[in-house]
Structure 1
Amino acid sequence: MRPPPEPAVAGLPVRWRPRALPLEPVAVAGVGPVALALGQRASRAGDAVLASWTGVAGPDVLVLLGASDSLPWVDGAVYLGRDPLAPALLLPCALEPDVAPSLLERALLAGRGHAPLAVLPGTGVLVSVAAAQPVARASLMAWLTPPEAAS
């Protein structure tokens, strides 16, 4: 029996395999329920730690960037690092693409947003973190509040 196909990243069918040497984490990301758990965990961080992060968020995704030892731990989150062969991408620390990282970088940057791009292979999500802003507790709490609860 074949394993299920991996989600394409930005329409590109890329397979992923374990990295021989993991990358140093510079970001953590979550999609769906993992994003919510990540946001809830981040909201419990102290003010100094929260102020040390930058981030981007969307309706169903959260990416936090910061020093590896400060990033929150959440089950199912993807920890991202920089591969020197594809510096414009944030790639999973424990996985590498089955194609040359520089080729993947070139393909993903071709008209698909501004670098750096966070690549989340398990879900096929690609997120530009170029507009990452300092994480403010008020903004994080607003993101965590469902729209119907805010009215």
Structure 2
Amino acid sequence: MNMDDALNIADVIMMIDIIVPGGNGRHLVSDLESIAELSLRNGGGTSLLLDLAYEGFLFGVSSLIYQRICPSLFFGSPLLNELQEGVLINSHTLEEGSTRVLAVNMNGGLLNFSADGFITIPVTINAGRGERVKVDISGGTVNWPGWSEYTISS
């Protein structure tokens, strides 16, 4: 839809804004100078917390979570830390060891962030005692008003 030859979070937001009456994506202004920071932290041993810090308005976020091929680590379905009406969260396993996580407001509204993390990703580790597993995050993108897309480096 935005002529970049790829279906991504910007296209999803654009479609929702067109379909939903009163969509405000074309009317709100966001600070293009703001910095978005995406981080992944331990949520107490059985989950990972995906945090997003941003000082402007956001409609959607997409990120790739991956781990070095380790058959003992499994990602569960991601959950929003705060219930938000109309916000869809989904994940898709792309290949062994990598999962794409997507969150978008289906009502054309904004995403809300809390200090306790934005998304919780349950993990199951079937490993021996003391075994370490490294999990990384890459390819983060956010979408803000005006349908601009910004890639986040973590």
Give the TM-score of the pair, scaled to structure 1: 0.28
Q: When you count helix as a share of all residues, which structure comes out higher?
A: 1
Q: When you count strand as a share of all residues, which structure comes out higher?
A: 2
Give the TM-score of the pair, scaled to structure 2: 0.28
